[in-house]
Amino acid sequence: MPLASRIFLRLALSHLVAGSILGAWLLAAKGGWPPMPPAWFRAAHVEMLLAGWLLNLIMGTAYWILPRHTTGPARGRAGPVVFALVALNAGVIAAGCGGSLVGGRALEALAAASFALHAWTRVRPSSRPAPREP
């Protein structure tokens, strides 16, 4: 598993745990304990789970597992992937933790565009020959 995928996946798990702690607090507070948290908890919970958990997991797994190039760097240039990694996680924190919703969502969109640019040419038939039918 390449380094970028390991970072994506560990960040995904970190967002899952942090977002779930906020969600557990929100749910339990409906039952009277603990006290109702501030309103930004809900926005952070949604952002961390929908963008932080799912998008980091999908990008990390895709970078690891999509068919590799036969010439040049096997997984393509690292620049767009590193940019996607940084922009996505900065965006989640900005949008979810009261920084700037518009700015955070814009960073998430830029991350998606950068990752799509990277993955576009890797979405193709595998270069490995298919197993022969018996």
Partner 1 sequence: MPQLSRWLARTALVYLLAALLLGVAIPAAGGHSPYLSTAWPVYIHLLVLGWATQLIAAVAFWMFPRAEPKAAASDAPGWAMYGLLNAGLLLRAVTEPVVERHSLLPLAALLQLAAILIFAATLWPRIRGR
Nearer to partner 1, 30 or 132 (CB): 30
Nearer to partner 1, 25 or 83 (CB): 25
Does 123 interact with partner 1 (rule: CB under 8 A)? no
Query: Residue 111 has which token pair?
Result: 């991350």
Could you check whether the bond before residue 34 is cis, i.e. omega within 30 degrees of 0? yes
Q: How far is the CB of 41 from partner 1 (least distance, A)?
A: 13
Per CB under 8 A, which of residues 17..36 are in contact with partner 1? 17, 20-21, 23-25, 27-28, 30-33
Helix, strand counts (H, E) of the chain: 5, 0
Say which residue the tokens 């908890």 belong to: 41
Per CB under 8 A, which of residues 64..103 are in contact with partner 1? none
Query: Residue 8 has which token pair?
Result: 């994506």
Q: In this chain, which of 43, 57, 66, 106 binds partner 1, going by CB under 8 A?
A: 57
CA distance 18 to 15: 5
Does 13 interact with partner 1 (rule: CB under 8 A)? yes
Say which residue the tokens 């942090």 belong to: 18
Query: Which of 3-11, 67-75, 79-87, 100-108 is the region at the interface with partner 1 (rule: CB under 8 A)?
Result: 3-11
Does 16 interact with partner 1 (rule: CB under 8 A)? yes
Report CA-CA distances (Å) from 110 to 46, 56, 84, 104: 19, 14, 7, 10
Residues in contact with partner 1 by the rule CB under 8 A = 1-3, 6, 9-10, 13, 16-17, 20-21, 23-25, 27-28, 30-33, 49-50, 53-54, 57
